[in-house]
Structure 1
Amino acid sequence: MTLPGYPAPEARYDTFTVESLQAVPPGAVFGAFADDTVRRRWFRMPGRHATYRHDFTVGGGEVASSVFPVPDAEPERLAYASTYLDITPDARIVFAYTSRVNDVPRWSSLVTVELHPEGDGTRLRWTEQAAFLTPSAEPAHDLPHLRGATRLRLNGLPAALAATAGEAPPGAPTA
């Protein structure tokens, strides 16, 4: 179904994977997804006036929104809604989500997060299958934007994990 007033775009789908090595065991990385306090340190909506509601259970999910300022234009209202489909403690999280901009669904994705022990740490593999529902003004930038935003979000994970463990974040000055 196409929204009234929007042309039916040609379907665009893509899959990407982002991997990172975390310096903590899989249980700690899993906790960064499950614990709301830790989650807010790295999984945040861009912009201002962000709101969150999170239920980390199968069938539960997260609803979040914010207002993103745009130079010389009206601010964008961003919204994110997810549903957890599978949660395997310390090993795997599968969820589906939809992102909206100004109440228009932009893309929906199926995400599989895998946590694999590697030495004393964890190899995190985030695989996302995205269906772009309504293209932006520059459709060629949609997938690179989504992939880059995912990498940026995951870049905040080590600092959130270090703060949880009471350590200084990586790269922080030491006394």
Structure 2
Amino acid sequence: MTDRTPTDHTSTDHTVTHATFTIERAYAASPARVFAAWSDPAAKASWFAGPEPAHELDFRVGGREVNRGRQPDGTLMTFESVYHDIVADVRVVYGSTLHAGETLMTASLTTVEFEPDGEGTRLVLTEQGSFLDGQEKPEWREQGTGAWLGALGEYLTRTGAPTR
């Protein structure tokens, strides 16, 4: 366990914005194939991680995922998740935090569902977040999440499963 200095609450600009969003995507690949792209460390790193190879994935209940990258100003961004529930080819539930340096920006709970849709998959991702002190906005998170679900579609296409 890491010791962390408590947040300084002497300032009056501490706020919390709560938000929930749901994004749906259809992929022309089976739920097992889409789930595998999510759960295999090499596959996920190829569509989820940034250009720096700073992605770790221990995909099991209680396991963690860490994705690190730098902002243009050099600030280290760390997205860290802990897996709470995994049902192969059906759903994944995880809690996440996003830090900019040592500053906690968000804490969230995400559920990803992999539903059969004809011969393909309908992926439904629902995130419930606490966005702290205006460091990140819910619409930014939703846009970024949509972008990496698009990258998942590109990965599936590149590796032999077209998206629709």
Aligned Cα RMSD in Å? 2.2
1:81 maps to what in 2? 80
1:53 maps to what in 2? 56
1:160 maps to what in 2? 155
2:117 maps to what in 1? 118
**Higher relative contact order (CA closer than 8 Å, sequence separation 6+):** 2
* Deviation for aligned residue 1:51: 1.1
Q: 1:3 aligns with which of 2, 7, 10?
A: 7
Unmatched 5+ residue regions in structure 1? 171-175
TM-score between the two structures when normalised by the length of structure 1:
0.82
Q: Aligned residues, how many?
A: 159
Distance of 1:164 and 1:61 partners within structure 2: 25
TM-score between the two structures when normalised by the length of structure 2:
0.88
Contact 1:111–1:129 (Cα < 8 Å) also in 2: yes
Distance of 1:132 and 1:23 partners within structure 2: 34
Contact 2:56–2:66 (Cα < 8 Å) also in 1: yes
Unmatched 5+ residue regions in structure 2? none
With over 3 angstroms needed to count, the CA separation of the structure-2 counterparts of 1:91 and 1:17, relative to structure 1, is same
* Deviation for aligned residue 1:134: 3.0
Contact 2:105–2:133 (Cα < 8 Å) also in 1: yes
Distance of 1:95 and 1:6 partners within structure 2: 32
* Deviation for aligned residue 1:50: 4.4
